[in-house]
Structure 1
Amino acid sequence: MPNSSQQLPGLLVQLDDLRYQYGGPGVPARTPHVFIYFLTITNLSDRAVHLLGRKWIIQEEGGETIVVEGDKIVGEEPKLLPGEHFSYNSFHVGSCSATARGSFHGVDQFGEKIHCLIPEFEMRIPGE
């Protein structure tokens, strides 16, 4: 399939830190739990990559599944040579604990569609 994406060996995602905050300015009362995650994407492959977007799948404890897809990664399209990395942080606001996983997608230096998986991690409300 020429249009399919291949997982690129050596293109890795790591959860560096996960922080929790209850409420705050602009946080809706119905979804008061804020989970702030810090990720690093490291290119240990043998080719340059250009990351163009992401897909997140968030499974809330109550059973609801939220899928977030879009262009760019926190407003950027990182270009990574072999050995380079890109770090960023973002957040999820919810009404309960949840599990997150997903992928980043883009193209390699040859124009081939590639992706890498975001390892699953738990967003837990302290004390639960």
Structure 2
Amino acid sequence: MNVKTTDGITIRVKAFYEEGVSKPQNKYFAFSYGVEIENNSSYDVQLLSRYWIIKDSNLTIREVEGEGVIGEQPIIKPDGLHHYSSWVPLHTTVGKMAGYYKMKRLLDGSVFKAYIPEFHLVADFVNN
């Protein structure tokens, strides 16, 4: 599990290769990832948006951004957690992702970036 803390917000990410939906013969490799966002601060925060940089081993770089996560803009209370899962397709067996969430402190309306730790996407059959 990869972990990073910014301004009291701890983000944990774990990725998995999805063999059942991948089609290696078509250069389609699917990966799921689970995210846990923990609010260790003393104020409520709301996740406003996400920004991802996705890189594969062909040096292809994709940027993905949008409101919330999986259609939600959750409010996370102090000592609270928010979990979600999503997925990403690659055209190679290996890649990596990193990024940030824009978060808003509900106490004063200030917005900050909570950084997502870089994590690797590796198909199970690839030798390390």
Displacement after TM superposition at 1:95 (Å): 1.0
Deviations 1:50-76, CA, capped at 9 Å, x for gaps: 111100001111011010000111100
Deviant stretches of 4+, over 3 Å? 27-31
Structure 1 unaligned blocks of 5 or more: 1-6
Deviations 1:36-62, CA, capped at 9 Å, x for gaps: 101100000121111111000011110
TM-score relative to the length of structure 1: 0.85
Displacement after TM superposition at 1:18 (Å): 2.1
1:32 lines up with 2:28 in the alignment:
yes
Aligned-pair identity in percent equals: 26
What is the aligned-residue RMSD (CA, Å)?
2.1
Check whether the contact 1:56–1:103 (CA below 8 A) recurs between aligned residues: yes
Displacement after TM superposition at 1:31 (Å): 4.5
TM-score relative to the length of structure 2: 0.85
Q: Counterparts of 1:40-59 in structure 2 under 5 Å?
A: 40-59=36-55
Check whether the contact 1:54–1:103 (CA below 8 A) recurs between aligned residues: yes
1:22 lines up with 2:15 in the alignment:
no
Deviations 1:6-57, CA, capped at 9 Å, x for gaps: x951111001x322123539x7964421111011000001211111110000
Deviations 1:68-126, CA, capped at 9 Å, x for gaps: 00011110001011100100000011111111001111210210011201100000112
Which position in structure 2 is the counterpart of 1:76?
72
Which position in structure 2 is the counterpart of 1:121?
119
1:13 lines up with 2:24 in the alignment:
no
Check whether the contact 1:53–1:104 (CA below 8 A) recurs between aligned residues: yes
Question: How many residues end up aligned between the 2 structures?
Answer: 120
Structure 2 unaligned blocks of 5 or more: none
